Amino acid sequence: MSFCVHCGAEVAEQGNFCPICGKASAGAGSGGGTAVVAVQKTESEKTFLSRPGATVTNSRIILGNKTYAMAGLTSVRSTVIAAKRGWAVFTVLFGMILLIGEGTRGFGVLLLIIGLIWAFSLKDQYAVTINSASGELHALVSKDQHYIDDVVGAINQAIVYRN
């Protein structure tokens, strides 16, 4: 038996064409030809970060349930998303106005306390902002700044490794 030089399949010695790939079998009929099979070596993935909700390798980034190709990524940075305190500040101001009136002081104090607690309980969020040819995107958002910084650092390492 001989082998197809294109796909490596076994070919009958009297056959002129490979039954698998259909190409002409140069080794067919020559009685004991050697198969030449090209093998492409693939680079193994190197992992820079593997934490719940975020995995960064040299070829892809998995954030939450979305996967981004490293090849399309141009830059990454962390971004602060300020908490929206507008309604809490409005509640404080309305409570202060109610403090002026004699009959509304109790309700004004209550609104003032609620507004202050509300305003101070709101926390800023942090985001992994990635840039690609298609634009800028907040790929991951969290209240944990250290977590976001770790993800951004790992993505930066993967970008340097890629180049």
24 backbone dihedrals φ, ψ, rounded to 5°: -65, 135
21 sits in the region (left: phi over 0; alpha: psi -120 to 50; else beta) called alpha
Residue ranges per structural domain of the chain = 1-41, 47-82+124-162, 86-121
Mean pLDDT of the chain: 82
pLDDT digits (tens, 9 = 90+) for 112-136: 999 999 999 999 999 999 998 888 9
User: Would you say residue 104 has pLDDT above 60?
Assistant: yes
Q: Token digits for 153? A: 């650092």
What pLDDT is stored for residue 33 in this prediction? 47
- For residues 56 and 106, give the distance between their C-alpha atoms in angstroms, rounded to a whole number: 55
Tell me the one-letter amino acid at 141: V
Fold of 47-82+124-162: PH-domain like (2.30.29)
Are 119 and 90 in contact, with CB atoms under 8 Å apart?
A: no
- For residues 39 and 134, give the distance between their C-alpha atoms in angstroms, rounded to a whole number: 34
- For residues 90 and 101, give the distance between their C-alpha atoms in angstroms, rounded to a whole number: 18
Q: pLDDT class for 1, splitting at 50, 70, 90? A: low
E-state strands within 30-144: 47-51, 54-57, 60-63, 66-69, 73-81, 125-132, 135-142
pTM of the shown model:
0.61
